[in-house]
Amino acid sequence: MNRGLIAIGGLIVVLAIVAMGLTGTYNRLVTLDQTVQSQWAQVESVYQRRADLIPNLVSTVKGAANFEKSTYVAVAEARSKVGQLNLGSGVPNDPAAFAKFQAAQDGLSSALSRLLVVVEKYPDLKATQNFSDLQAQLEGTENRIAVERMRFNRAAQTFNTTRDSFPTVLVAGLFGPRFNEKTYFKSQAGSETAPQVKF
Amino acid sequence: MRALGCALALLTFIGLATAANGAEVPVPRSPAHWATDNAGFLSAQAVDALDARLRAYESASGHQVLVYVTPTTGDTPTEDWTVRTFARWKVGRKGLDDGLVLFVFPADRKVRIEVGYGLEQKIPDATAARIIRDITPKLKAGDPDAAVTSGVDEILRALEGQTRAGGSGAPGAGSGAYGKNDEGPRGTMPPDPVPAPADSGSSRLWDIVGVWIGVLIGLAVVVGIIVLIMKLPDPPKGAYISSRSSGFGLWDVLNIVGSVAGVAAGGFSGGGGMSGGGGATGSW
């Protein structure tokens, strides 16, 4: 047996093992990336659900006598900022786009919570069937947002843990921004606590 | 001898993964009945009647509807506790997510309706909130049997599409387009927090070779774990996410055994459904 032949054979075996490793790593990253993307779609859909509630909410409080105009105007403005977001599909891979998305949505959250504080001063409005239905929908939607964000963060963490582990981290960079580290939702200071009514 | 060592290490690993799982979700195991009262809140007759009714409802409609009474959720916020509990029990059918649980927490004086993704159209939040507003006066008046029974009446009526007259705007959240990536009703695309194994695209040969590589990696992992266990007396905290997604732990085995036993005995067992935090909460 020729020594050179053995060396070439050994090299081929080593290359084959490396190629198999690459394939496996790539496929694993694709699977985890798909999980993150589908969870991101869930996040977008629950935020969209909230945005869809705003027009009805604004017209309901507008109907109440002397309702403070600035609060619902702020909600409508924050809603239109959310509507203008046009970030494409790669948001979880792009920290800048992600920050924009979260800033706009958090803006709507705080405008909404200010409005709900003001509503406390209008017991007649609160007592109507229409408003209590709206309030139930808003509460449910905020709860859904919390759930889907939590699940998104979990999927993103699973992806990032795999992506940043050795030796995957050496491979992940070869495929462009698709396998960038995923960004997480951060809870805003004070956003976890319900709005307080002070007199 | 070596094989025995590997097996022991593997058992230890499964034990660690199970411990981490338990720390993540402090929620009860799946109930064996459709109606459960751990708090002695309802009369035994009421629980039995509800159980028989909800069992019959599942055989007739396929929807899994549960009543679960337990004293408290502890320090965990109600909604957080119920969505995790629902996820562990997997109420509703897989892919349809047509489950629903009426939770009552007497010590917290709270009640919650947790709605699976697939039933959000039939029981939107406003409907769930109305049902809760209807039953809280009875809870306040000290008539829990009537409260929970009438709550179940209303839930089943709403599921059959008989909405109460006089409502306005209730289905608002249930209609219209959501995300651009949604392809249909929400029930058809449940999010799966556990990534499915990659399929297709690779030939049989790759699969076989992959298995052997997997075995080699597995052996390396076992050796690594033995080293880790020798170095670390305590299991690492906060590492539950990776272990949860990758480990098929003792807990899952127990769950499957329990489910099979439950079916054999005619008890409740979750069908693989999910909820996304839909529903409503009330207090009395």
Who among A49, A151, A158 is closest to B242 (CB)? A158
Residue of A nearest to B196 (CA): A31
Query: Does ipTM exceed 0.85?
Result: no
What sign for the dihedral angle of Cα A151, B27, B70, B67? positive
pLDDT digit string (tens) for B34-76?
999 999 999 999 999 999 999 999 999 999 999 999 999 998 9
- Closest to A147 (Cα-Cα) out of B99, B278, B27, B103: B278
Greater pLDDT, B232 or A181: A181
Going by pLDDT thresholds of 50, 70 and 90, the confidence category of residue B3 is: low
CA distance A82 to A100: 10
What does the pLDDT read at residue A66?
79
Could you tell me if A85 and A101 are in contact, meaning their C-beta atoms sit under 8 angstroms apart?
A: yes
Could you tell me if B241 and B9 are in contact, meaning their C-beta atoms sit under 8 angstroms apart?
A: no
Q: Which residues of A touch B213 (CB under 8 A)?
A: 17, 20-21, 24
What does the pLDDT read at residue B193?
43
Q: At what angle do helices A95-119 and A69-84 cross, to 10 degrees?
A: 160
Q: Are A31 and B195 an interchain contact pair (Cβ–Cβ within 8 Å)?
A: yes
Q: Which residues pair with B69 in a beta bridge?
A: B37, B104
Q: At what angle do helices A69-84 and A3-63 cross, to 10 degrees?
A: 150
Q: Are B206 and A23 an interchain contact pair (Cβ–Cβ within 8 Å)?
A: yes
Q: The tokens of B89 are what?
A: 């029990």
Q: At what angle do helices A95-119 and A129-163 cross, to 10 degrees?
A: 160
Q: The tokens of A56 are what?
A: 């009805």
Cis peptide, bond prior to residue A195, ω within 30 of zero: no
pLDDT over 70 at B211, yes or no: no
**Residue B173 Cα, gap to closest chain A Cα (Å):** 7
pLDDT digit string (tens) for A101-144?
999 999 999 999 999 899 988 888 888 888 999 999 999 999 99
Q: The tokens of B68 are what?
A: 């679960």
* Contact A136/B at CB under 8 A: yes
Return the residue in A46, A132, A144 with the most chain B beta carbons within 10 A, the one to mutate for interface testing. A144
Do you know the residue count of chain A?
199
Greater pLDDT, A126 or B5: A126
What does the pLDDT read at residue A21?
84
Segments of chain A with pLDDT less than 50? 190-199
CA distance B194 to A38: 12
Return the residue in A137, A141, A163, A164 with the most chain B beta carbons within 10 A, the one to mutate for interface testing. A137
**Residue B44 Cα, gap to closest chain A Cα (Å):** 32
What does the pLDDT read at residue B51?
96
What does the pLDDT read at residue B199?
41
CA distance B256 to B35: 21
Who among B169, B180, B281 is closest to A133 (CB)? B169
Q: Are A44 and B83 an interchain contact pair (Cβ–Cβ within 8 Å)?
A: no
pLDDT over 70 at B126, yes or no: yes
- Mean pLDDT across chain B: 73
Q: Are A31 and B198 an interchain contact pair (Cβ–Cβ within 8 Å)?
A: yes
pLDDT digit string (tens) for B130-189?
999 999 999 999 999 999 999 999 999 999 986 544 333 333 333 333 333 333 344 334
pTM, two decimals, is: 0.70
Q: For the beta carbon of residue A91, count every other beta carbon within 10 angstroms.
A: 22
CA distance B88 to B79: 14
Greater pLDDT, B227 or B19: B227
* Contact B196/A at CB under 8 A: yes
Task: Catalogue the E-assigned strands of chain B.
Answer: 35-37, 64-69, 99-105, 110-116, 275-283
**Residue B128 Cα, gap to closest chain A Cα (Å):** 8
Could you tell me if A178 and A92 are in contact, meaning their C-beta atoms sit under 8 angstroms apart?
A: no
